[in-house]
Amino acid sequence: MRNVLTVLMVVVGFALQAISYFALAAPWVTTGVASGEPRVVGAPVLFIAGVVLVFLAAVVYELLPEKRGR
């Protein structure tokens, strides 16, 4: 169970980072200061949340007990 939860957290965290970086952040080609703003206001917060989620996956892996019989 802890392996599945850990892998799921890592995958969701990396997906959140990729989506917020490539789809929601500021466009790469800028023509002025106004176009340097992110497309979604909370895009940097979502990226940081993805990083935190990946690091918390290690905490979940360590704190959840291992299945009995191993």
Q: What are the average pLDDT values for consecutive 10-residue runs of the chain, which has 70 residues?
A: 94 95 77 71 91 96 81
Cα distances (angstroms) measured from residue 48 to each of 21, 33, 45, 55: 10, 23, 5, 11
For the chain, the domain total comes to 1
- Asked whether residue 18 is assigned to any structural domain, the reply reads yes
- pLDDT of the residue at 69: 64
- Asked whether residue 70 is assigned to any structural domain, the reply reads no
For residue 12, the 8-state DSSP code is H
- Asked whether residue 12 is assigned to any structural domain, the reply reads yes
**Domain of 51, in residue numbers:** 2-27+36-63
- pLDDT of the residue at 48: 96
- pLDDT of the residue at 41: 85
